């Protein structure tokens, strides 16, 4: 599971812009790529925080309440990422089935 999180983290880093882009005109907001990158980055951070809290709980340095809250938040983030992935795969499959 940790290897999968590392892959998601590298995906988030690859989605984040490496070079400064042209400024976005007012009224347009952020691009889909930026929003998706921010969502994935946030989810990876939440998963890492949940993992750290679980390790602290095993070591006895964190309260059980904090461990449960962190793990539940990580679970919600993971479910959100999986739902987004499922929608992207579904959209790709729908496009692949389109007649030209």
* Radius of gyration in angstroms for the set of CA atoms belonging to the chain, rounded to a whole number: 17
Q: 37-65 pLDDT, tens per residue?
A: 888 889 999 999 999 999 999 999 989 99
Token output for 77: 């983030």
Residue 61 located in a structural domain: yes
Residue 100 located in a structural domain: yes
Distance CA 86, CA 40 (A): 14
Residue 19 located in a structural domain: no
Say if pTM beats, i.e. exceeds, 0.85. no
Residue 21 located in a structural domain: no
Residue 12 located in a structural domain: no
Count: domains in the chain:
1
Distance CA 56, CA 47 (A): 14
Domain of residue 82, residue span: 31-100
Residue 15 located in a structural domain: no
Distance CA 65, CA 70 (A): 9
Distances (CA, A) of 68 to 41, 54, 72, 90: 22, 8, 6, 33
Q: 58-70 pLDDT, tens per residue?
A: 999 989 999 999 9
């Amino acid at each position: 599971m940790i290897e999968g999180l590392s892959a998601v983290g590298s995906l988030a880093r690859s989605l984040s812009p490496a070079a400064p882009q042209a400024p976005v005109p007012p009224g347009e907001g952020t691009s889909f790529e930026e929003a998706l990158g921010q969502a994935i980055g946030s989810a990876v951070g939440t998963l890492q925080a949940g993992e750290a809290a679980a390790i602290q709980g095993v070591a006895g340095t964190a309260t059980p309440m904090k461990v449960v809250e962190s793990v539940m938040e990580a679970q919600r983030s993971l479910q959100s990422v999986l739902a987004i992935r499922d929608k992207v795969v579904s959209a790709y499959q729908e496009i692949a089935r389109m007649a030209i």
